[in-house]
Every structure is written in structure tokens, then in C-alpha cells.
Structure 1
Amino acid sequence: MPRALVVLLCTAGAVVTLAGIREVGSIVGPVLLALVLVLAVSPVRTWLRGRGAPGWTLVAAPLVLVLLILLGMMAILILAVAQLAGLAPTYQKQFGELVVQAQQFAAGLGIGTDQMNQAIKSFDPGKIFALAQGFVSGLLGAFSGLILIVVLVLAMCLDARAFSGVLKAGAARRPLLIEALRNFARKTRRYLLVSTVFGLICAVLDVGALWFLGVPLPLLWGVLALITNYIPNVGFVLGLVPPALLALLEGGIKTMIFVIAAYMVINFVVQSLIQPKFLGDAVGLSTTVTLLSLILWAFLLGPLGALLAIPLSLLVRALLVDSDPDGDWAAALISGEVPGRDRPASDEKAAGDEGPGRETRPAPVR
């Protein structure tokens, strides 16, 4: 078949598949969340098996841990929604003062009052609070299917041992697919662990900075920073906008600048300088692919898709790219790394053995 026709057919198939995922997103989202949670707590099951624990603990311990995570997230999100709902109306007076100051500043620059009033009318800080509240409410709605998620996690924990045996049995027939799935599980666990640890560090530092600057509800904004840490590229901005706006209403422009500066310094030092050294190439996605995957999964699954964008993209890569014998070029395109850059140690040794100090014999002619 012509290559152009193959591309068009694959594109049409992808569009149909993605449209189907969007239509059943209320089911696909909890299933994928349960899968990621089971992968996250699988080291607990491995550790218990190595200690010779009874079989029922291999299911009960991961399930209880997942329940604690889900219930804790739901409690935090419910508290966040309640506090955000009553926060915006309390700052109407401060907003009016900011409007007067903005009009005076614009008049000093020679900008007409009518244009300034029109611009001010189009800006409402309550909309930003509503946006943050809508995002948190969307996450809460995703977690609200707690019974379905728990049932799925229980089923996956019960099948984990059998599934591991199936993977071992299929390694001889489908080695690339099995290895790709193992790499997906390993990279997902590493990504979640590193992101959680450094997200907690950033959240604690953010809470300390907000408390020092006198911004209300510092614990709430620290939790929001931890949650948005799992959202690539734009998560930092989503976690910064509400406390920065609140600092503007509470302490003025100077306090807002201090909040933005503190967040930027903390984010740059922890997530840009330190975190990549621990995360390494666990993600294997270029910046462009990461941003596109965020947009795609958020469009398909809503806030839950944005939260799970990296693990879901790793799963798609494992199934469609890493399991393909001819997928090296696609993997290099996705990861942004030149193929063949890292040579095996055996090849390097062989190349080193053929240095100037050694005589190489030509192969005999037959």
C-alpha cells in the first residue's frame, strides 16, 4: 500500500480510538487511575512476598494503602473546594481599591479612563478563583467514583500474581512487548516516586514562604502545589496563580511579586536543577511531546487526564513504539535523543581493542 494511504488510515484509526476514549472517559479514567495506583504500590507487594508474608496480605496491604491515598486526596480536595467557595467574596473591598489604584496609574501614563475601565471590567479575580475551584472540583469528581476505583484496584491486586506469570511465560514469544511493559511499569514507579518526593519538598518550602509573607491559607496552597506538580509544563503556573492573586488582594503588588519570586526560585532550584538528576531518563519524552500529551489527555479525560498525562503517555509509548522491532526511529523522535548515541559496553570494549596499539587481521577471503 502507498505510504500516504497507510498514514491516512492510521490517522483515521487514531481519531476514532481517541473519540471513543473521550465518550467513555468516565470509565476509562478510573481504570487508568487504578492501574497507575496499583503500579505505584506494587513494590509493597514485592517486599511482602520476599519476606514470606501470607498470600492474603499481598492483596490487603496494597489495597489498604491505595484506600488511604484516595481518602486522603478526597478529604483534601473537599476542603479545598469549600475554602475556595467562600474565599473570593471576602475580597470585594480590596478589589475595589485595586481598581482605583489602577485607574490612577493609567491616568498618570496618559491612558484614557474609558479604555482603562473597559479593561478592568473584563478582568475579574473571582474568575481565577472559579477556575481553580473548577479544576479541584473536576479532580474531586474523578475521585468520586471511589467504589469503582476500589473494585478495580482489588481486581488488579488479585490478578497481579497471575499477570506476572503470564508476562514471564510470554517473554520468549513476545520479548519486545514484555520488556516494553516492564519498562513502562518501572519508569512509571520511578516518575511517581521522584515527583512525589520533590513535590513534597516544593510544597513545604512554598508553605513556609506563604506563611512568612502572610498569605492566607498557606497549607491549602501547598497541597495545591503538590497536586499540580504531577501536571507537566503548566502545573507550576496552576499552583502559583491562586496564591499570587490572593497575595495581591491581601498585601498589594509588593507581596504578590515576593510570592511569584519565591515560587520561581523554589521551582527552579528543586525541579530544574535537583530533580532531573534523580529522575534521569525515566520519562523518555521530549518537551514538545510532553506538552502535546498533556493537551491530549486533558481533552480526553479532563483534570484526571492532566494529572496522569506522563504515565498514560508512557503506556502508549510502550504499546505502540517500544514493542515494535522497527520503532527505534519513532522512540528517538518521541524522546528527542539521537538513536545509537549510547553504545553498549561490549561494543566500546571491542572498539577499544582495535586501537592503534593492536594489529587487526583482515577476515580470510573464501
Structure 2
Amino acid sequence: MTAPQQEKIGQNMLLKMATLVVILAGIRAASEIIVPFLLASFLAIVLNPLVTILMRHRLRRGVSIALVMIVVLIIITMLVAMLASSVNEFTELYPQIRVMLEQKLTVVQHLATHIRLNISPQALVDRLDPNSVMDVATTVLTQFSGAMTNLLLLIMTVIFMLIEVRHLPYKLRNALINPKIRIAGLHKALKGVTHYLALKTLISLITGLAVWLVLQLLGIKFALLWGVVAFILNFIPNIGPIIAGIPPFVQALVLNNIYDALLVAALFGAIHMVFGNFLEPRLMGRRLGLSSLVVFLSLIFWGWLLGPIGMLLSVPLTSVCKILMETTPGGGKLAILLGDGRPRVNK
């Protein structure tokens, strides 16, 4: 290879990298528009099978969509009302929580003196102030709900997507340059993402219900709140269930006792073991074909690019990118790098 050819290849690589940086910067700058659209798209993917089931019972598409969206709005309204009640209850219990936290830290101070550590309970209370923790949680929830600031617009977008989905194959056949390959790739991506999101939603719902019921039986306050948190964070791969278990564990340690806290830790550990390591791999198999490292790195990447919603949708977004790479010239090698390293079986 001559020097001019090497120089030309280097320039092409630099140009592609610069183009990628500009695209990513544009996506991050436009995240306020892109995130609601992505959220609406994946909600439409999850809800479309329900619409199809209703249509099989001889209901028209418009009636089926209306029934599904009414149920979704009722569920959202109930959850918002229950979460608001939990926040109000926390505000009322805040003075009691602070006093109990000081008492617990006094015990920690007494134990720390035996290993020559100076711990100030008052300083720790200021740092571990439940009100500060609540402020952090509120900030995270505010970022998460940024995509849902205009709920009506989101719902209308989902409705129009569900209406237009039946016209999508015709449009793609007449719009794409190589429709057979493109439609096959899009169909594969849609099928994989639909399967993942449907099962992930079901497993997350079971997880949230299990957390709520068990915490309720243990007498842990805000059981419903922690159940909803477990449901949402279960969409975040690998670290989501672990993060969901930290707040109820700390709360049980402060408001209850060490035994209840250990039971809470055992609960989340058992749920993560049964659902995360046994049930999900069996039900989902390796349909998405992503390596564990890529799943973890995608969590960081999409979280940086799109915020909390990007973390929740990191796996399906990466899967779509991988499948689309497989159907584009020059993208096959990148798709192999994102894969699980298992050779394809030709049927």
C-alpha cells in the first residue's frame, strides 16, 4: 500500500470519526425532543400486541387503541396518586426519621471508638439527611419525568403510531432502495425488541408486585413506593435491581432494625437471583445477541447520551443498532463486535 493510499484511508477514518462526534453532539443537544419520541415509540411497541389481541376479538383498530390507552391512563393516574401519598407521608415522618437516624449513628460512634475512629453523629446526619436523599431522588425523578412533561402529547404520539403501524410495510416497500434486505432487518429488529420489551415489562411488573407485597408483610413503610421503584429500575440491566434495593434497606435499618434490613437485602438478592439470573435468561434466551460487556457499556453510553430514559432503553436501542448494522454495507464487522461471540447456525 502506497503512502498516498494510507494517507487517504487515515483521512477517511478521521472524517468518519468527526461525523460521528457531530451526530452524537446533535443527538445530545436535541435529547429533549428525541427522548419523548423514543419513549413513545417503545410504548407503542409494547402496546401494539395488546391492540392486536383485541382486534382478534372482532374489535376495530380505533376501538382497540382507545381501550388500551384508557387502561394505560388509569394505571398512570393511580400510580401518580399513590406516589404523591407516599411523598406526603414521608414529609410527615421526616422529624421522626431524623431522630432515629441520630440514635443509630450514636451506636455506630460507640462501636467506632474501639477501632480508634472519630465519628460525629451530627455531621453524619447532615450528610445522610433523609431530606437531602429525597432531594436527590426528586432530581432523578424530575429528569426521568422530563420526557413525560406533556403527557397528552406523549399519549397522542403513541395513538398515532399505533394507527400508522399497519401502513408501515407498504411505506417501507416503496420508500427504501433495497426493500427486501431493509424490511427483513427492520422486521428482525422489531421482533427482537418487541419480545424483549414485552417480557421485560412482565418480569418487571412481577418484581414490583413481589417487592411491594413482601415489604408490606415485613411492615416496611413506603412499600408501594419501593415496589414502583423496583419496577422501573428493573428495566436497567445489571445494576438496576441492586440500586432499587439500597433505599428500602437503609430505611429498614433506620426505622426498623437490623433483622428487617437483612430480610430486605435477602429479598432483593433472591429476586435478582431468581429473575435476573434464572427466569430472564430462560425466557429471553439470546434473541438480542448482545454480549454482557456490551450491555453494560451501552447502559453507560445511552445514559450519558439520553439521560435516565436512555438507561432504561439501553438494551433495545443497542439491539436495534446492531441489527441495522448487519443489513448495511460495512456494518457487519461492527455488529460482530457488539454480538455475544457465538457463531451463527445456518438453518
Query: Normalised by the shorter chain, which TM-score bucket?
Result: 0.7 to 0.9
Q: Could you tell me which residue of structure 2 aligns to residue 349 of structure 1?
A: none
Q: Note the C-alpha offset of 1:97.
A: 0.7
- 2:235 alignment partner, SS class: coil
2 CA distance for matches of 1:180 and 1:60? 30
1 CA distance for matches of 2:310 and 2:88? 23
1:294/1:331 CA distance change after superposition, 3 Å: same
Identity fraction in percent? 29
Q: Does 1:56 align with 2:69?
A: no
List aligned pairs for 1:18-37, cutoff 5 A.
18-37=24-43
Q: Note the C-alpha offset of 1:13.
A: 1.8
Contact map agreement 2:98 2:125 (CA 8 A) in 1:
no
Q: Does 1:98 align with 2:104?
A: yes
Q: Which runs of 5+ in 1 are unaligned?
A: 346-366
For residues 242-292 of structure 1, the C-alpha deviation after alignment (integer angstroms, 9 at most, x for no partner) is 101110101233322221122101210122112110011233322222222
Q: Note the C-alpha offset of 1:158.
A: 3.1
Contact map agreement 1:38 1:153 (CA 8 A) in 2:
yes
- 1:337 alignment partner, SS class: coil
For residues 90-121 of structure 1, the C-alpha deviation after alignment (integer angstroms, 9 at most, x for no partner) is 3011111122111110111232x2x6669836
Q: TM-score, with normalisation over the residues of structure 1?
A: 0.82
Q: Does 1:331 align with 2:335?
A: yes
AA at the equivalent of 2:338: I
Q: Could you tell me which residue of structure 1 aligns to residue 224 of structure 2?
A: 219
Contact map agreement 2:207 2:230 (CA 8 A) in 1:
yes
Q: Which runs of 5+ in 2 are unaligned?
A: none
1 CA distance for matches of 2:145 and 2:87? 9
- 1:10 alignment partner, SS class: helix
Q: Note the C-alpha offset of 1:296.
A: 2.3
Q: Note the C-alpha offset of 1:170.
A: 6.1
Q: Could you tell me which residue of structure 2 aligns to residue 322 of structure 1?
A: 326
Match 2:310 to one of 305, 319, 334: 305
2 CA distance for matches of 1:138 and 1:87? 26
Q: Could you tell me which residue of structure 1 aligns to residue 169 of structure 2?
A: 164
Q: Note the C-alpha offset of 1:83.
A: 4.9
AA at the equivalent of 1:343: V
1:117/1:211 CA distance change after superposition, 3 Å: closer
Q: Could you tell me which residue of structure 1 aligns to residue 184 of structure 2?
A: 179
Q: Note the C-alpha offset of 1:28.
A: 0.9
Q: Could you tell me which residue of structure 2 aligns to residue 39 of structure 1?
A: 45
Q: TM-score, with normalisation over the residues of structure 2?
A: 0.86
Give the aligned CA root-mean-square deviation in angstroms.
2.8
AA at the equivalent of 2:336: A
List aligned pairs for 1:134-153, cutoff 5 A.
134-153=139-158
Q: Note the C-alpha offset of 1:217.
A: 1.6
2 CA distance for matches of 1:85 and 1:16? 45
Determine which structure has more spread, i.e. the larger CA radius of gyration. Answer: 1
Q: Note the C-alpha offset of 1:323.
A: 2.0
AA at the equivalent of 1:192: L
Q: Does 1:124 align with 2:128?
A: yes
2 CA distance for matches of 1:52 and 1:182? 26
Q: Note the C-alpha offset of 1:318.
A: 3.5
AA at the equivalent of 1:194: L
List aligned pairs for 1:350-365, cutoff 5 A.
none
Q: Could you tell me which residue of structure 1 aligns to residue 257 of structure 2?
A: 252
AA at the equivalent of 2:333: W
